[in-house]
Amino acid sequence: MQQREEKQLEASVESLISRVAHVKNALHSFIYKLENEYERLTWPSVLDNFALLSGQLNTINKLLKNEKTPSFRNQVIIPLLLSPDRDEDLAKLTEQRVPVFSHEIVPDYLRTKPDPEVEEQEKQLSAEAARIGPEVAQKQIQTLNKLCSNLLEKLNNPREDRDAESATMRQNKSSFNPADTNALVGAVAFGKGLSKCRPPGPVAPGHPGQGPMMSGGPTLQQVTIGGGSGQQAGMGGPVAPQQQGQPGKMPSSIKTNIKSASGSMHPYNR
C-alpha cells in the first residue's frame, strides 16, 4: 500500500516538475521578447503568449486535481540542515538562482501559508461574504451567471444578427456626402466656384468668355460678349473677366469692329 502511494507521489511530483519547467520556459521567452523586441511586438503575439501561459497553468491545475495524484497537503517538508555555505550541487540544480540553502531563503521557498497581507485580505473577504447572508449571495451569483451567459450568447451568435443592427446604426452617420464630392471634383476639374470675379458659390461658368455670361453684371458686358467670344479689337485678347469694365466705353465701335474682323486675321486674335 505504502509503496504504491510512494510511487504515485514520485510520479506526480516528476510530472509537476516538468510542467512547471514548461511554464518557466514560456515565461522566460516572453520576458525576453518583451525586453528586446518590443518595437516589433504586436498585440496578437502578446495575446498568444498569454494564452500559452494560461494553457500551461490549466494543465498544472488538471494534474493537481487528478485522482491519481496524492494530496500534497499531507506531505511536510522539513529542512534538516541549514548552512550559510555555498552549495554547488544546489546552485547547479537551480541554475544559479539558489546558491545557498540558508536561514534567509527558507521562509520564502518553503512557505505554505499565504503572505500576511494576502491573509488579511482573505479574512476581510470572507467576513464580508458571511455578513451579507446566503440569499443575497445567491442572488448575486445568479446575476453574475446571467450576465456572463448573455455576453457569451452575443459573442457566439452568427454574424448576421450583429451586422443587421450595425448596418442600421451606420446609416445614420455616413461619412461622406456625394454632393460635396461633386462640388469638390467640379472645383478641381474646372474651377466651379473658384473663378475670381464671381461671388462665392457654385454658379460660375466653366470658361468665362465663351458664350453669354450668367452673372448679374451690367448690360454693357452682354453687349460686348454678344459680338463674339472675347475678341476685342486692340485689346490683346485675354480671356479673364477683368475686361468687363473697359469695353463699356465704346460699345458701338466694338460691334462694328467685330463685324469686319471676323473675316480677317486679326493680329491679336488668340
Q: What is the x/- site pattern for another protein, positions 94-123, by CB under 8 A? A: ------------------------------
Which part of the chain contacts another protein (CB under 8 A), choosing from 1-9, 53-61, 131-139, 194-202?
A: 194-202
Residues 230-249 within binding reach of another protein (CB under 8 A): 230, 237-240
227 contacts another protein (rule: CB under 8 A): no
Using CA atoms, how far apart are residues 229 and 224, in angstroms rounded to an integer?
A: 9
Q: For another protein, give the closer residue by CB, 19 or 198.
A: 198
82 contacts another protein (rule: CB under 8 A): no
Which part of the chain contacts another protein (CB under 8 A), choosing from 70-78, 83-91, 154-162, 178-186?
A: 178-186
The size of the interface with another protein (CB under 8 A), counted in residues, is 37
Using CA atoms, how far apart are residues 215 and 193, in angstroms rounded to an integer?
A: 13
Which part of the chain contacts another protein (CB under 8 A), choosing from 104-112, 139-147, 168-176, 249-257?
A: 168-176
Q: Which residues bind another protein (CB under 8 A)?
A: 170, 174-178, 180-196, 200, 206-210, 229-230, 237-240, 269-270
